[in-house]
Amino acid sequence: MKTRHFQSSTWIAYLLAGVLLFLPGARAQAEEPASVLTQETETYCLGCHADPTLSLTLPSGEVLYLYIDRLQLAGSVHSPQGIECEACHTAITTYPHPALEYQDTRSLSRAYYQACQKCHPDNYDQTLDSMHFRAAESGNLAAPICTDCHGAHDVGDPDEPRAKVSTMCSSCHAEIFAAYQTSIHGKALIEENNTDVPVCTDCHGVHRMPDPRTEQFRIASPELCAGCHANAALMSKYDLPADVYDLYELSWHGVEVTVYKARWPAIWHDTAVCTDCHGVHDIYQTDDPQSSVNPANLLATCQKCHPGASANWTGAWTGHNQISLQKTPFLYYTDLFYSSLVPVVLWGLVIYVVLQILRAVAKRIRRTIA
């Protein structure tokens, strides 16, 4: 009797649970998305951290501001995805919070950025090969970490707006940015919002940033430039030739770079690459008086490697331009002469050799018959 009563009660409980599951309120709570749950967590944390006056003085005397802007947090890439505060603040699970053991704000930032690798292990591993990480390992605690570039509570799309990339880098590389923003690339990006031009990360990389002072980086730089300047569709938008890299490879400079890259990639050599002639961050349009390849400055640029170069040197130099009748008539006709002469001579030699062979064979046949 008790057993039947227990079984009846159990079935009634199951039936009530099923009915409750399909009630609007219960189902909404069961299906509540993670972002809503996170918002509840954020609301709890922001109960204190939305106070603009909230701060803490560290042993170094620095003031650690603990205010979090609600709008910035809601506009970050993390909040809408349901990533809760404690996903990064792993040591804070109770209130009152445990005392901070960091002497200054930089030590705190360097400790907290380790949390990034939980969700972004591949990107974090790439930073271990970067010059930024090596600088930090050598004792430079000012070397950038994830939050220095991406932000902390206001993490947004890293490439939106695109100009943000270079301005962010300027916080550490102010002098380089000053040169970049006056260049043809920087002006187009900052003043015209042209997203086709390269920003820092296009040349230097994003997380795995190699040291640009090494021979390996220098010798690979023509290929970096070719990423844009060999793109026919992109170059056609600006009425620029897309064969400059191919012509560079055919030049003495390009051939030598190819050989060194294949045989001795780690040995420094002085063969000219793109940046030696055009500049690095301070690249200007050819007709700009500041351009190192402006006709008025070209000889001085060549003399950096060829100190004995005379004024006639630049007149015979075509760079990576096609030889044409309009621009270089003498070289055009010289090239035409040798382009015609060489195959005539070679075919003449082939015909001569064949005729000599036939003559020798015929002579031997006659001797045999005789």
Residue-wise pLDDT tens digits, 4-34: 443 444 433 334 334 333 344 333 333 333 3
316 — pLDDT class (breaks 50, 70, 90) = low
CA distance 57 to 105: 10
CA distance 158 to 109: 19
Residue-wise pLDDT tens digits, 203-214: 999 999 999 998
Residue 289 vs residues 54, 219, 295: alpha-carbon distances, Å: 54, 28, 9
CA distance 302 to 305: 6
CA distance 285 to 236: 17
pTM over 0.85: no
When mean pLDDT is compared across 106-120, 274-288, 345-359, the lowest value belongs to 106-120
Q: Look at residue 39 in the predicted model and tell me its pLDDT.
A: 54
Partnered with residue 57 across adjacent β-strands are: 63
Q: Would you call the peptide bond into 96 cis, given omega within 30 degrees of 0 as the criterion?
A: yes
When mean pLDDT is compared across 110-124, 198-212, 263-277, the lowest value belongs to 263-277
Buried/exposed 258-284: b ≥16 CB within 10 Å, e otherwise: eebbeeeeeeeeebbbbbbbbbebbbb
Single out the residue of 77, 281, 280, 75 nearest to residue 166, CA to CA. Answer: 281
CA distance 204 to 173: 13
